[in-house]
């Protein structure tokens, strides 16, 4: 039950402290009550858990991981 | 890669070729290991990934998994489920809880059964849905039956925060939040008590993903330092898990014993500070909490602080909520499975009397429990090398 869904913030309602997020084409609302004020912005990647944004996904770290995986694949040079 | 797209966060961390490349790295490294390694994946989410993607099949013989107790509905003792059942049967009560609780059996049956007997039980996607239910039913007492590890605790706290700020009079809480580090300690400490087992040696931990997002990796510092167990906090995707395993194997090869984070894109050492503050504001440790299959574990669960007593359903309804402990089913070996002393397939009732639709033991209750995951995805195990 600890699963969370990576999503992208498409809109922020500052008054209600809510973000509208896109989860692979499905739009839903998520509370920002567990995030610092102003921490989450439009276009950010976030983790969604039972109706709340629980944290931001660091874009650079994600990209770095993916880059490392590609390098490993190239080095291994096997056709899987 | 110039720009990250949402689909990268799914596809690139589930890529079969990348999974296989890590399997190859692990295989090469494992050849150099001087002894077998047993890794405990603490969290049920990891158990699910490992079984769903058949990762056990990709690992060499000398690396094995012990499936840990990180499934919060699985470890909930019957007496707590009975509390939910009893509360739901009160005429002026609407019991609200997360969907994971639907089928969990107590001594009178599950909440699904309570509903069929006329109880008003609502299964919601988010604790916040409780607010709407309370508004629509001002004449009823709405009790939020709160479950989950550190991941889910701040969401309960956020609901209470709103209840207090808006002075909502008809929302109450029955708190069953549990914490991860204490049960990890218990599993190592209790090892000496269970020396007759053949396989209760936890050599390393794969640290939970989203518990760590909230609590921070700092909660595992003690394990490499004082228990000589490496911890690698890994994400839930199969590539994350394989990379995490690879990092653990490398620690053994290089004689290191450290706390490392594989899941750096969301986990930090400190975690989500605002969420942690929210937890600390409203909750405090219970002296003891009974885990189904494992018994009483000190400081392993939370309760509302005394000053929030008037919101605490456990206090308000104390006269009708029994405290006696209920024994686990005699044939069930979930306790041994959670301690890594047995595999689900070694249980005599596994897949026969005990099935997901009618679970006897805790590990069969949710898809994140080891038995349910073996039952659903474990067909290959019948022919495989790892059949118990």
Q: How far apart are CA B294 and CA B363, in angstroms?
A: 12
User: Which residues form the domain of B305?
Assistant: 78-178+301-316
Residue of A nearest to B367 (CA): A1
Nearest to B265 among A36, A54, A58 (CB): A58
Is the domain of B185 the same as that of B255? yes
Is the domain of B239 the same as that of B369? yes
Is the domain of B91 the same as that of B212? no
pLDDT tens, position by position, B71-87: 888 889 999 999 999 99
Nearest to A69 among B12, B128, B278 (CB): B12
ipTM: 0.94
Record the tokens describing residue B370, joined without a space.
């080891």
Is the domain of B51 the same as that of B84? no
Residue B379: pLDDT above 80? Answer: no
Taking the CA of residue A71 and the nearest CA in chain B, the distance in Å comes to 10
The pLDDT assigned to B23 comes to 97
Q: Do B361 and B73 form a contact (C-beta atoms < 8 A)?
A: no
Residue B193: pLDDT above 60? Answer: no
Task: Give a yes or no: residue B281 inside a domain.
Answer: no
Task: Give a yes or no: residue B222 inside a domain.
Answer: yes
What ranges in chain B are assigned the alpha helix state H? Answer: 6-11, 16-31, 44-52, 55-58, 78-88, 111-116, 129-136, 153-165, 180-189, 210-215, 222-226, 238-253, 273-282, 313-316, 334-338, 370-377, 379-383
CATH number of A5-76: 2.30.30.140
The pLDDT assigned to B213 comes to 97
What ranges in B303-366 are assigned the alpha helix state H? Answer: 313-316, 334-338
Residue of A nearest to B235 (CA): A3
Is the domain of B199 the same as that of B231? yes
User: Which residues, other chains included, contact B348 with Cβ-Cβ below 8 Å and sequence gap of 6+?
Assistant: B331
Per cent of chain B over pLDDT 90 is: 74
The pLDDT assigned to B335 comes to 80
pLDDT tens, position by position, B214-258: 999 999 999 999 999 999 999 999 999 999 999 999 999 999 999
Task: Give a yes or no: residue B279 inside a domain.
Answer: no
Best probe of the A interface among B1, B3, B4, by most A CBs < 10 A, is: B4
Chain A / chain B CB contacts < 8 angstroms: 142
End-to-end CA distance of chain B: give it in Å, rounded: 44
Residue B188: pLDDT above 90? Answer: no
The SS3 of residue B223 is: helix
Q: Do B142 and B132 form a contact (C-beta atoms < 8 A)?
A: no
Confidence band, pLDDT 50/70/90 cuts, at residue B175:
very high
What is the number of structural domains in chain B? 2
Task: Give a yes or no: residue B55 inside a domain.
Answer: yes
**Residue B60 CB coordination number (10 Å):** 17
Judged by a CB distance cut-off of 8 A, whether residue A25 touches chain B is: no
Confidence band, pLDDT 50/70/90 cuts, at residue A78:
low
Q: How far apart are CA B242 and CA B245, in angstroms?
A: 5
In chain B, what residues touch A78 (CB-CB under 8 Å)?
A: 20-21, 24
B21–A69 C-beta distance less than 8 A: yes
Per cent of chain B over pLDDT 70 is: 95
* Average pLDDT over every residue of A52-76: 95
The pLDDT assigned to B121 comes to 97
Taking the CA of residue B196 and the nearest CA in chain A, the distance in Å comes to 33
Record the tokens describing residue B45, joined without a space.
């989410």
For residue B355, the cross-strand partners are B358
Is the domain of B56 the same as that of B122? no
Residue of A nearest to B126 (CA): A50
A52–B154 C-beta distance less than 8 A: yes
The CATH code of the domain that includes B68 is 3.40.50.11750
A51–B155 C-beta distance less than 8 A: yes
For residue B66, the cross-strand partners are B40
Task: Give a yes or no: residue B23 inside a domain.
Answer: yes
Nearest to A57 among B126, B147, B266 (CB): B266
Is the domain of B17 the same as that of B85? no
Radius of gyration in angstroms for the set of CA atoms belonging to chain B, rounded to a whole number: 21
Q: How far apart are CA B141 and CA B313, in angstroms?
A: 10
Is the domain of B173 the same as that of B188? no
Q: Do B144 and B159 form a contact (C-beta atoms < 8 A)?
A: yes
pLDDT tens, position by position, B37-58: 999 999 999 999 999 999 999 9
Judged by a CB distance cut-off of 8 A, whether residue A3 touches chain B is: yes
Is the domain of B229 the same as that of B355? yes
The pLDDT assigned to B338 comes to 78
Is the domain of B171 the same as that of B84? yes
B258, B290, B316 - which closes a domain? B316
Task: Give a yes or no: residue B346 inside a domain.
Answer: yes
The SS3 of residue B231 is: strand
Q: How far apart are CA B299 and CA B311, in angstroms?
A: 22
**Residue B387 CB coordination number (10 Å):** 12
Task: Give a yes or no: residue B324 inside a domain.
Answer: no
B152–A50 C-beta distance less than 8 A: yes
pLDDT tens, position by position, B262-294: 999 999 999 999 999 999 999 999 999 999 888
Task: Give a yes or no: residue B274 inside a domain.
Answer: no
Is the domain of B171 the same as that of B102? yes
| Verdict on whether the full-model pTM lies above 0.80 | yes
For the purposes of burial, counting CB atoms within 10 Å of the CB of B216, is it exposed (0-12), middle (13-18) or buried (19 or more)?
Answer: buried
Nearest to B158 among A24, A31, A66 (CB): A31
A24–B148 C-beta distance less than 8 A: no
pLDDT tens, position by position, A23-50: 988 999 999 999 999 999 999 999 999 9
Residue B368: pLDDT above 60? Answer: yes
B100–A4 C-beta distance less than 8 A: no
Domain boundaries, chain A: 5-76
Record the tokens describing residue B294, joined without a space.
């494992």
Radius of gyration in angstroms for the set of CA atoms belonging to chain A, rounded to a whole number: 16
pLDDT tens, position by position, B348-360: 999 999 998 888 8
């Amino acid at each position: 039950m600890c699963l969370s869904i990576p999503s992208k913030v498409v809109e922020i309602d500052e008054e209600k402290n809510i973000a509208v997020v896109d989860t692979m084409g499905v739009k839903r609302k998520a509370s920002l009550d567990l995030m610092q004020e102003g921490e989450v912005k439009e276009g950010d990647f976030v983790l969604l858990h039972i109706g709340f944004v629980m944290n931001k996904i660091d874009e650079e770290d994600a990209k770095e991981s993916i880059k490392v995986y590609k390098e490993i694949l190239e080095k291994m040079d096997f056709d899987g | 890669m110039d720009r990250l797209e949402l689909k990268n966060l799914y596809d690139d961390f589930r890529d079969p070729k990348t999974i296989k490349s890590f399997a190859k790295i692990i295989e090469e490294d494992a050849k150099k290991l001087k002894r077998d390694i047993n890794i405990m994946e603490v969290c049920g989410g990891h158990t699910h990934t490992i079984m769903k993607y058949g990762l056990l099949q990709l690992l060499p013989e000398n690396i094995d998994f012990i499936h840990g107790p990180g499934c919060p509905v699985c470890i909930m003792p019957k007496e707590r489920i009975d509390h939910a059942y009893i509360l739901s049967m009160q005429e002026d009560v609407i019991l609200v809880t997360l969907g994971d609780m639907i089928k969990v059996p107590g001594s009178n049956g599950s909440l699904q059964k309570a509903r069929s007997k006329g109880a008003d039980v609502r299964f919601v996607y988010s604790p916040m849905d409780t607010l709407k239910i309370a508004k629509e039913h001002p004449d009823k007492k709405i009790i939020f039956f709160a479950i989950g590890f550190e991941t889910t605790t701040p969401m309960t706290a956020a609901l209470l925060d709103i209840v207090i700020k808006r002075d909502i009079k008809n929302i109450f809480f029955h708190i069953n939040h549990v914490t991860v580090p204490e049960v990890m300690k218990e599993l190592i400490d209790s090892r000496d008590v269970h020396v007759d087992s053949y396989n209760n040696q936890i050599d390393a931990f794969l640290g939970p993903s989203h518990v760590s997002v909230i609590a921070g990796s700092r909660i595992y510092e003690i394990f490499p330092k004082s228990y000589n167990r490496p911890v690698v906090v890994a994400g839930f995707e199969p590539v994350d898990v394989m990379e995490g395993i690879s990092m653990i194997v490398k620690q053994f090869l290089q004689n290191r014993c450290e706390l490392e984070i594989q899941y750096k894109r969301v986990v930090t050492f400190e975690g989500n500070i605002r969420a942690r503050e929210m937890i600390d504001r409203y909750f405090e440790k219970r002296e003891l909490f009974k885990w189904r299959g494992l018994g009483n574990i000190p400081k392993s669960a939370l309760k509302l602080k005394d000053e929030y007593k008037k919101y605490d359903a456990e206090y308000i309804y104390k006269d009708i909520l029994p405290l006696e402990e209920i024994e686990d089913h005699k044939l069930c070996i979930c306790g041994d499975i959670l301690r890594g002393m047995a595999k689900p397939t070694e249980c005599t009732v596994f897949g026969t009397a005990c099935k997901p639709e009618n679970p006897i033991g805790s590990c069969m209750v949710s898809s994140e429990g080891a038995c349910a995951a073996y039952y659903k995805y474990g067909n290959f195990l019948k022919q495989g090398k790892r059949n118990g």
